[in-house]
Structures are given as structure tokens and as C-alpha cells.
Structure 1
Amino acid sequence: MSPTPSTLNVALIGFGYVGQTFHAPLIDSVDGLSLALVASSDAGKVHARLPQVRVTSDYLAAATDPAIDLVVIATPNDSHYPLACAALLAGKHVVIDKPFTVSMDEARDLVELAEVRGRLLSVFHNRRWDGDFLGAQAALRGGGLGDVREMVSRFDRFAPQPRDRWRERPGPGSGLWFDLGPHVVDQALCLFGSPQTVMADMAGLRDGAEGVVDWAQVVLGYASAGVQRRVTLHVTRLAAWHSPRFELHGTAGSWLSNGLDTQEDQLKAGMVPGAPGWGEDARPALQVVGAADPTPVPRPRGDYRQYYLGIRDALHGVGPNPVPAAEALQVMAVMECAMRSAAEGRTLRFTPA
């Protein structure tokens, strides 16, 4: 009989919205991971949710704690790099909430450091396990749409008044492109790989935006054997009525999905990951082939737990890293190319990282 893999002790650095809504409950839901330490300036908030967890206000100490195997970084974007460096240098495995870092140079440094230290480095691109995205993958691979030549991916919010928080203040890693852009870019790369060109437009459309991006539209250009494909990525904070989340248009038909995946709302409501109904969404997608009427297509069940199950298995040597750092580096490369394109007002050739 093979020995039972040991439990991995996890430190979660940051207990803001992302840390408490996503990471803490997902880590808790996975056998073999133990949330042993949380770094937060508000111990009372942590203990109200996790009464048995050790809490420290010293983020650097949490990143280097001798009892910790895996460090999860869910702090403001400009702190990802120094905390991840400290953790890797201390021999820890590291998960970083998206975006990876605020620059390609920082991201490359972390990839190299993880390789030198022989540690796992991964980025929490959880939207790979959205039910609607899994449905888009299935539609693309199923062949019923013919050769898919166009995708539109929208991740829209409605928040017409800027809030006084780091995500919406000027500074490295702030703005909607760094907030929601990594999701739509990562999903596009999963479906179609690296583009040949990037054309972007970005703006601060809301009163009081103060130059911080709250709207972006990015077109990824693909060409192969004379066949053109375009992928349009759109994020905004001014969508009171949401357009389709995904559109796939091919030579034989189209596939459309409305509404965001349910898991974030379920987590906000306190649902335990894996509970009955977890990740389920009764809203069907619609597929249209030729001139036929739309056909409802059930959505696959989404499951963010698969990310941390993958992390656990990778650390025990029985599975791959669910989001390798090299893939997250490609996301950063597209994001930076899009920002340059928007700043220069022209289409750029894309060079993979």
C-alpha cells in the first residue's frame, strides 16, 4: 500500500475580497491542503470566518514561515513580486492571484527564480474553470460551428462611480485591464494560442476615473494558411445591461452564452465549494447552425476547486501544475503589448514571451 501523501500547510497572504471570497474557501475545500496561516491587518475579520487559523500582520514573515509549504499571495498587485521573491528564496511553493505581476520583467524574474530554486510557481487563473468557458471550449472542439473565425469575450461590470480603493487609484497594476484583463486574455490563449497582432484601445470613461482604465477593447489577430481569425476582448465598468459573455462565430454556425459563471456569486453567498448545486447554471447557451433556429445547449458545471486540486497533486508529484508560470508569462506578454498598442494608437506585432 502506498503511503498517504502528507498534508500541505498553506499561508494565505491578504484577506481582502479575493482572499476571503475565493482562496480561503477553495483551499479549505481540498483534502490535503491545510490553511494554517493568514496574513492580514485585521485579525478580527479573519477569525470571524476562520476561528482556528493563526493570523499575523507581518506579510513578509508569513511568506517565509518555516512551517509553511505553500504561500498564496492575494495582495495588491504591486506587492506580488516582492512577496513571491521572498517566499521562493525561503524555499516555498507559490501561488499568485492574477495578474502575475505588474510588469514582464518582474514576471520573468519570478519564473527564473522558481526554476533555480526548484519550486512550483503558479498563477490563479481560475476562470479556466468557469462553466461558460468550458462550454465555449466544448463548442469549439465539437466541430458543429465549422471553422471558428471570430470570438467575442466580454467581462462587464456595472459600477458607474469609482470607489476609493487601490484597484481604482492611479498606480502600478491598477485599473480594469489589470483586474479583468488577465481573465479574458488567459481564456483566449487557452482557446487559440498566441496571436500574431494586438490592437487595443483603453480609456477612463467614468467621471472621476482620473486616468485609470475602466474600459478596454483589445483585438487579437490570427492568420494561418491565408485564413484570418479575430478575437475581441472587452471589459468595462459601465454595463448596466450585459451583452453575451461569449460569442463564437464559425463557417457553419454560432454559439452564444449570456451571464457570468455562478461560482463567484455562490462564494459571496457563503456556499461551500462542492456543496449540492455548486457551479451549476440552469441558463443554457444557444447554438445556431446554418439558418436553423437557436438550440439550447446545457452549460457544463464550473468548478474552481480543480485549480487547488491540481496544485495539491502537482506538489505531490502526481499531476501537472494547473497553470504553469510559463503560461501566465504569455498572458502578461499580451497584456503589455495591448497597453503599448493603446498608448501608441496602432496595431502591434506580438512576440511571445
Structure 2
Amino acid sequence: MKPQLQVGLIGYGFAGRTFHAPVITSVPGLRLRKVVERRSEHSKERYPWVEVVKSAEALYADPEIDLIIVTTPSTHHVEFVRNALNAGKHVVVEKPFTATTAEADELIQLAKEKNKMLSVFHNRRWDGDFMTIKELLQKNLLGRIKECEFQWNRFNPIVSGNNWREQAGTGTGVFYDLGVHFLDQAVCLFGTPDTITAKIESQRENSVAHDYFDVTLGYEGNLQVRLKSSPFVRIESPRYILHGENGSFIKFGVDPQERALINGQSPATSNHWGKEAEELWGDIYTSLGQLTVKGKIETLPGAYQAYYQNVYEHIMEGAELEVKPEEARMNIQLIERALQSNQEGRTLFVHDKNALKGRV
């Protein structure tokens, strides 16, 4: 058997219950040992071996806990991550990393001082559709990309008021919640943009947090990457649109992993984990030399478990960390610049444009 990393989970709400616990328990070498639940013991229904504790301090004080997962609302991330690092634990924190770059800088510096791993759960890098797009660009099947559009639309016209994401304050709203995924994907594909132009609004009646965004990232070579989300889209719209000098790729549908996790499945219990139905495969129209190619591209299987597998291999075997805190910090900087662009009604330069390079 592999050496075990003992894991403590702070929070068993939607994120902890759906995205973290089932994925953690599917990775050999990670053992979910303690879960912080202040008012219930729901985690024991699915993971009867775990110990439920009522406070995060019980994880900090346990010398056998190696890795702490923080799944609290983003407005509380700083406190929990800071305390976990100070307790000498490795830390994974749910996205968005923090509400501000100043908070991100503090936590990155603290992790370095404590010589502990700090990573942010940007699981959407392991969405099958995004992995497929990454492969398309690596193989240069579309030529030089000139225009992209990423859309995360939904039909949710009524504010519930019960979700922390819909509350007022820094770190809430759809741009922090969903937009940060698109920013992370865009930076992974193309590097840090040169400019940013944003329209970020609260469009629904009685909304106190932003629920709509239309953000354009500008790059050298006239590449424009547009990121959009609206709560008033009732018909299906493309998730990804890419146009290059040689051709185009259009992809509908969403990665099946989230729905599978909500339905109680996990990578450990499915033989076809992350595999998308053929009718959702993306459409490609491109040229290869003198040949014209038009058809479907099979979507690569998604693999959220790969994130936690990498975390294990980084801590135990010294593998390179896939999601570095500095990358997550860049996403927060881009959010701040987008909010400033929206407020000032103008395009802004991204001053740290060379801080991170695209991976494709």
C-alpha cells in the first residue's frame, strides 16, 4: 500500500460534500480522517469511518492530520488557511483563492515560511471539454487562435437570498464563483492577458451581488478571449467557441462529472468516469494541409481525481504542483482589474502580464 496522507476537511456543505470528499476518497494514499461539521454528522452517512469534529481547531491540534481542505465560503478562506498553515499543515482551499490579492499574497508568503504546500481547487482544468481544447491547441489543429468565447449561462431569474454567493460584499457574486474558473482556463491556455475590459452587473431584481459578467481579455496578435455568464439564458448556448486561422471549434454541453458527483457517484465507483455522451462532442471545421476536415472531436474523459492525485504526489514524491498558489493569485488580480474596468467604464492594462506564461 502507498503511504497514507491523513486528511481533514473543513466544511461539509455543497462543495465539501459534492466535489471534495468523494474525490479525495477515490485517490489511493489519501485518507479522509476528520470532517468539521458544526451542526450535523452527515459525512458519517457516506464515510462511516470519519470522525466528525465541531471546530477547525480540532484539526489544527491533531498531529496526525497532514493535509487540511478548506471548503468554507470564500469570504472566510483567509482565516482558515492562515490558521492551518500556522498549525503546520499542508492546505488545499476551494476556489476562489481569496477575495483580494493582498490576502493571497499574505497566504503565499506564509506557506513559504512554513514550508508547506498551498494549492487552490481549480478542478475545471480537468473538465473533459477544457482538456480537449487544450489538446486541440497543442496539436495546432485550428492554427493561430484569433477569437474565443467561453459561456457559463443559466436560467435563474429569481434571487434566492439563501446562498452566500448571492450576498453583498467582497468575494461574493457570480464573477468570483464562476468567472474565476474561466479566468483560470484562459490563463492556462494563453497566458496572462495584456488588457481587460469588463461589464459586471446585478441584473436580477433585488440582487445585491453581481449575477452577470461580460469580460474580454486582450492579447498580443489581436487575440480576444470573451468570458460571459447570464442568469437569463433559457435556451442552450455554446460553452466554448474558438476561431483560428485554420478553422473553428464549437462545443455545447457541460462536463458530466459534477452531475455524477451530485448523484452520488465517484471516480472510484465508475468504470467510465468523466466520459461524455457522443451527442455532446464538439464540432470542428478546419484544414490540415490541402485537406478540409469537418466533423466531431471526441471529448477526453474528465478527471477531477487528477487534481488530488497531483497533490499527493507533490507532497509525498516531490512532483511539480499543478495548481500553484501564484496562479490562483493571478486570477484574483484579474478579478480586481475587471471590477475596476467595470467601475471606470474603460479598458485597463494588466500590469503583471508576463508574470505567468500559457501552458499551451
Question: Scaled by the length of structure 1, what TM-score is found?
Answer: 0.94
1:46 corresponds to which residue?
Answer: 43
% identical aligned pairs = 38
Match of 2:30 in 1: 33
The CA deviation string for residues 146-181 of structure 1, in whole angstroms up to 9 with x for no partner, is: 111111111222222112221111122111011101
Pick which of 91-100 and 165-174 moved more. 165-174
State yes or no: 1:77 paired with 2:74.
yes
CA contact (8 A) 2:41 2:52 kept: no
Give the equivalent residue in structure 2 for 1:319: 319
Query: Does the residue aligned with 1:150 lie in a helix, a strand or coil?
Result: strand
CA drift of 1:333 comes to 1.2
Distance in 2, Cα, partners of 1:43 & 1:17: 14
Query: Cα deviation per residue 1:214-239 (whole Å; 9 max; x = unaligned)?
Result: 0001100001xxx2110001122222
Q: Deviations over 1:314-352 (max 9, x none)?
A: 011241112011111111111111111111111101022
Which residue of 1 is the match for residue 358 of structure 2? none
Q: Which amino acid aligns with 2:120?
A: V
CA distance in structure 2 between the partners assigned to 1:61 and 1:345 by the alignment: 47
Q: For the Cα contact (< 8 Å) 2:2–2:28, is it kept in 1? A: no
Query: Corresponding residue for 1:305?
Result: 305
- Equivalence for 1:278: 273
Q: Secondary structure at the match of 1:217?
A: strand
1:264-294 deviation line (CA, Å, top 9, x unaligned): 0010111121411210002211001269674
Q: Distance in 2 between matches of 1:63 and 1:16?
A: 20
CA deviation after TM superposition for structure 1 residue 64, in Å: 4.4
Give the total of aligned pairs: 346
Q: Which runs of 5+ in 2 are unaligned?
A: 356-360
Any runs of at least 4 consecutive aligned residues in structure 1 with deviations exceeding 4 A, and if so which? 290-293
- The residue type paired with residue 88 of structure 1 is L
1:57 is aligned to: 54
Q: Secondary structure at the match of 1:216?
A: strand
The separation in 1 between residues aligned to 2:203 and 2:292, in whole angstroms, is 39
Q: CA deviation at 1:114?
A: 0.4
Q: Compute the displacement of 1:46 (Å).
A: 2.0
Shift of 1:142: 1.7
Structure-to-structure mapping, 1:332-351, within 5 angstroms: 332-351=332-351
Q: Is the 8 A contact 2:142 2:246 kept in 1?
A: yes
Question: What is the deviation of 1:125?
Answer: 0.3
Counterpart for residue 23 of structure 1:
20
Report the equivalent of 2:239: 245
Give the corresponding residue for 1:269.
263
Matches within 5 A, 1:225-244: 227-244=221-238
Instruction: State whether residues 176 and 236 of structure 1, in contact with CA within 8 Å, keep that contact through their aligned partners in structure 2.
Output: no
8 Å CA contact 1:11, 1:62 repeated in 2: yes
Counterpart residue type for residue 332 of structure 1: I
- Whichever residue aligns with residue 310 of structure 1, its letter is N
2 CA distance for matches of 1:240 and 1:125? Answer: 27
- Which of 154, 159, 166 is matched with 2:156 structurally? 159
Query: Can you give the 5+ residue segments of structure 1 that lack an aligned partner in the other structure?
Result: none
The farther-off stretch of 33-42 and 156-165 is: 156-165
Q: Does 1:256 align with 2:250?
A: yes
Of 135, 146, 149 in structure 1, the residue corresponding to residue 146 of structure 2 is 149
Q: Aligned partners of 2:294 and 2:229: how far apart in 1?
A: 26
Matched, 1:9 2:6: yes
> Equivalences for 1:49-198 in 2 at 5 Å?
49-163=46-160, 164-198=162-196
Q: Which amino acid aligns with 2:51?
A: R
- CA drift of 1:5 comes to 4.8
1:206 aligns with 2:189: no
RMSD: 1.5
Secondary structure at the aligned position of 2:322 is classed as: coil
Equivalent of residue 213 in structure 2, options 211, 216, 237 = 216
Partners of 2:198 and 2:213 within 8 A in 1: yes
Against the structure 1 CA distance between its residues 239 and 62, is the aligned structure 2 distance closer, same or farther, given a 3 Å change threshold? Answer: farther
Partner of 1:114, secondary structure, is helix
What SS does the corresponding residue of 1:188 show, helix, strand or coil? helix
What residue identity is the alignment partner of 1:171? G
**Contact kept? 1:139, 1:255, Cα under 8 Å:** no
Q: Could you tell me which amino acid in structure 1 is paired with residue 275 of structure 2?
A: E
Q: Which moved more, 1:246-255 or 1:163-172?
A: 163-172
